[in-house]
Each structure stands twice: as C-alpha cells, then as structure tokens.
Amino acid sequence: MGPLPGVYLTCVLLFTTAAAAISQETAIRANVSVVLVPVTVTDKKGKFVDGLREGEFALSDTGRPQRIALDTWETLAPISLVIAVQTSDIAAPVLAKFTKVGSLIQPLVTGEKGEVALVTFDCDVHLAVDFTSDPPAIGDAFRAVKAGDSRAGRLVDALAESIRMLAARPGNRRRVVVMVSESRDRGSQADLWETLLSAQRDAVAVYPATFSAQKSAWTVKAGELPPPDGPGGLIPIFIELSRLGKKNDADAMSRATGGEHLSFTTLRGLERVIAGLGEELHSQYLLSFPQQVSDGLYHEVQVRLPEHPEYRVRWRPGYWAESRR
C-alpha cells in the first residue's frame, strides 16, 4: 500500500543500539535495535505543523502496529549533509548562482551541531571539501566551484560516493544528500538501484535539487558567466537537451529514500530550496520503535495521522532490518 493521500511526511530511518531490562538486583543489558523515523508534517498549504502528540501518530511495520515513542527536532541526532553539485559545462549558468549560497548552509540547514561536505562531479567525482562545521570553509568551497569542459554528469556515481562518506560518519546522525544537478545521469558506472539499496541500508535521505539547463540559461545574467573557452557560447546547452533520455533518476532517488525532488531556475529559487530543506529538517518529529525481528529483510513502514485527514502525508517506503548475530 502506498502513502495515503492528504498527508505529507518525510521519513529517514536510522538504526541505533539500546540497552534495556533492569531487574531489582542487577542490571541486565540486552542489545535491542531501534528504528528511528524523523517525520515532517505539513498542512494543505505546505506549512509545517507542530504541536502533535505521540498518540496522534499510528505506525505499522509490515502491517503490524507498533508502539512508538515521540520526540521533537531539538533532541534529534545532528545532521551530516553532503551536497553533490554537477560541474559539467552544461551547468555553467547554474554554478553562477550556486557559488552565492554557501553562507546559507549552516544557519538554515545543518545548524551549529551539524556538518557539511561538498562533492562535485562531471566525468569524475571530486571531493571539494570534507565534512566541516566551519562557515568560512564552507563559503570558500562553494565560491571555488566552477564548470569544467566535460559533457558528462555522473549523477549516480556522485550519489554512491556521498552515501559511502555518510555511512563512515561516527555516531548517531541524520544522513542527508542534496544533489544539485540535472534529473538524469550522464555516464555513471554505478548501478542506480544498487546505489539506492545502499542509501536505504545506511538511512540516507536524498533531496535532488534539479535545474533545467534551458531555463537556467535564460535567467542567468551575462556578467555572471565566465567567458567561453571556444565558439558557440551557450548553444551546446540547447543541443544537448535533445539527447536526454526519458528516465528520471532524481525522482527515483527521492522516492526510494524518503527525500523530496525539488527544482529551481533562479538564484532566488535556489535560496528557497535551501531554506525549505532546512525548515523541513528542523521541523521534524522523531518516532522510534524497537525492531521486532532480525531477519535482514526489507520491512514496509506505514505512518498515519488518523485524527488529521486534512494534513498531507508522504513517508519512506521502509527499512532493512538489522541481522543480529
């Protein structure tokens, strides 16, 4: 069963280990896997809803109702964010805007306790800056991003590397990837579905922030673009559009991981995307429930607000149960 119409909900599944069972005489510790579900709820106008209580949520794991605990974003795990930006030649108009938004990332998205890394990709994937909480370092890295002369855009490879980086982060963190790119891949070696499986296993939520190269070319100011290296100017951007396939990798990324497919054409639009993402992440509730089985299989999760059919809802399809040995 898919998400019910009328509720908007974003879920990122994280896994931790808790110790429990204390007797009167001795403390007996047993490993219990806990599924954490950060949840965002909005009304029909897209405004974030706060003040909901634990009893207003209903959650099931593979059809079985679960007893949940509820917390709010103030005590959620800090955010580890990777921003992966396409730097092929077709992205030049977009990068003229992108370099200006680095100062927004910490105050609006990660917060003081969070961290951000920047990855660029064209015919290869490059680490522009490793995880940092230092605003000047973030700003410098964003300003240094420039378009190359490659026509490739290895979107899936960049996502695979971002997931690998996030999976290696220590501690209990919310793992998020923002892909600033076209919606389709150009030349990746990694398999899309294997990459999405890794994202699900490592509880990574993917938010594609995609652009239309054609629209961006019309909205960029002339002074924002570097001089072209050869004849043709922006003409190759329009020629390349006809080559794109019908497959939309960005949609698959967001749907499979509980993120949302966003888009923009102007600098103001990109700023709204960043501000909206930050507001969503910091408006989340946190549902948690103990993992009942350790079969290593995929489990479908359903989350509802039975008392509020007027709200809009979306949730991540499920999680992979940890195998305990």
At residue 41, does pLDDT exceed 60?
Answer: yes
Task: Output the pLDDT for position 5.
Answer: 40
Q: Summarize the confidence of residues 286-314 as an average pLDDT.
A: 88
Task: Output the pLDDT for position 22.
Answer: 30
Task: Output the pLDDT for position 109.
Answer: 93
- Inside any domain, residue 65: yes
Whole-angstrom CA distances from 286 to 12, 21, 45, 163, 310 are 10, 23, 22, 22, 21
- Inside any domain, residue 302: yes
Structure tokens at 2: 């898919």
Q: Which domain holds residue 288?
A: 14-75+284-320
Q: Are residues 93 and 69 in the same domain?
A: no
Q: Summarize the confidence of residues 5-31 as an average pLDDT.
A: 38
At residue 195, does pLDDT exceed 90?
Answer: yes
At residue 13, does pLDDT exceed 60?
Answer: no
Q: Are residues 258 and 290 in the same domain?
A: no
Most confident listed range (70-79, 90-99, 189-198): 189-198
Q: Are residues 296 and 276 in the same domain?
A: no
Taking the C-alpha atoms of residue 303 and residue 109, their distance in angstroms, rounded to an integer, is: 25
Q: Summarize the confidence of residues 74-81 as an average pLDDT.
A: 78
At residue 289, does pLDDT exceed 60?
Answer: yes
Q: Are residues 307 and 254 in the same domain?
A: no
- Inside any domain, residue 107: yes
Task: Output the pLDDT for position 12.
Answer: 42
152-175, pLDDT tens digit by residue?
899 999 999 999 999 999 877 889
- Inside any domain, residue 224: yes
CA-nearest of 80, 174, 87, 204 to 131 is 80
Q: How confident is the model at residue 76 (pLDDT cuts 50, 70, 90)?
A: low
- Inside any domain, residue 219: yes
At residue 97, does pLDDT exceed 50?
Answer: yes
Task: Output the pLDDT for position 225.
Answer: 41
% of the chain beyond a pLDDT of 90: 41
Which has more confidence, 265 or 109?
109
Q: Are residues 113 and 148 in the same domain?
A: yes
Q: Summarize the confidence of residues 274-294 as an average pLDDT.
A: 88
Are the beta carbons of 183 and 209 closer than 8 angstroms?
A: no
> Vertex 229, ends 95 and 145: CA angle to 5°?
25
At residue 232, does pLDDT exceed 80?
Answer: no
Of 117-126, 190-199, 222-231, 232-241, which gets the smallest average pLDDT?
A: 232-241
Q: Summarize the confidence of residues 20-32 as an average pLDDT.
A: 37
Of 226-230, 242-246, 297-301, which gets the smallest average pLDDT?
A: 242-246
Task: Output the pLDDT for position 26.
Answer: 33
Which has more confidence, 57 or 11?
57
At residue 284, does pLDDT exceed 90?
Answer: no
Task: Output the pLDDT for position 66.
Answer: 95
- Inside any domain, residue 300: yes
Q: Are residues 27 and 88 in the same domain?
A: no
Number of domains in the chain: 2
Task: Output the pLDDT for position 247.
Answer: 58
Task: Output the pLDDT for position 27.
Answer: 32
Task: Output the pLDDT for position 8.
Answer: 45
Q: Are residues 301 and 197 in the same domain?
A: no
Q: Are residues 272 and 166 in the same domain?
A: yes
- Inside any domain, residue 3: no
Q: Are residues 27 and 161 in the same domain?
A: no
- Inside any domain, residue 2: no
Q: Are residues 161 and 307 in the same domain?
A: no
Task: Output the pLDDT for position 72.
Answer: 58
Burial-class residue 319 by CB neighbours within 10 Å (0-12, 13-18, 19+). Answer: buried
Q: Are residues 47 and 31 in the same domain?
A: yes
Task: Output the pLDDT for position 67.
Answer: 94
Q: Are residues 169 and 104 in the same domain?
A: yes
Whole-angstrom CA distances from 290 to 9, 51, 149, 176 are 20, 24, 50, 23
> Vertex 284, ends 278 and 290: CA angle to 5°?
135
Three-state secondary structure call for residue 161: helix
